[in-house]
Amino acid sequence: MARLTISMLPITLILLCLTCKIESTTTSAATEATSSFIRSKCSSTTYPSLCFQSLSSHASTIQTSQHQLVQTALSVSLERAQSTQSYMNKLGKFKGLKAIEYAAIKDCIEEMSDDVDRLSKSVKELKSMGKDTKGADFIWHMSNIETWVSAALTDGTTCMDGFSGKSMNGRIRSSIKTRITHVAQVTSNALSLVNQYAGAY
């Protein structure tokens, strides 16, 4: 009986290796399918490379679901907006800035607060509608989301307008511009994906 068990070991190992190889191939195919899906959807956005870069790390969550793709894109925009809002709040506490700079930062903080609020509403709205929402309900929810995300884009532009004057500190203006621009770009991509999804029904 012991000899039989020993003789079966190579066969068992071969079967295990074959199983591992099949699972690896299946996983690889699924990963490739998800990457292709994300890249395809991102190709029609304003910033396709940034779109793919910011969403590909969430591939396991997105898989090939357009609903989840939009949900993730909105969440990424919200996270960037919240990070920028936090940065602006800290910047507003710095001492030694000009009065015009404090005023511009204060206005920008308000704009970023609106930005975060609108993106938060968009994320919650998409979650509430569910993946199987159809018809008039789908159109109503998506219309709300499109309106809020579009308004969020305007918030970023308004924020930057306050730092356009030459009297502004160059380093502060550059730092804020970099952050606001990034928020605007991921939000623009999110809006493109929202529009794609809305147009699918």
Domain segments of the chain as ranges: 2-199
- Is the distance from CB of 76 to CB of 185 less than 8 angstroms? no
- Within 8 A by CB and 6+ apart from 152, the residues are 77, 81, 114, 115, 118, 119, 122, 187
pLDDT of residue 19: 56
Domain 2-199 superfamily per CATH = Invertase/pectin methylesterase inhibitor family protein (1.20.140.40)
For the whole prediction, is pTM greater than 0.85? Answer: no
pLDDT at 28 over 80: no
Q: How many CA atoms lie within 13 A of 192 on its CB side?
A: 17
Q: Which two tokens stand for residue 66?
A: 């357009």
d(CA 119, CA 96): 33
Q: Which residue has the higher pLDDT, 82 or 95?
A: 82
* Mean pLDDT of the residues in the chain: 84
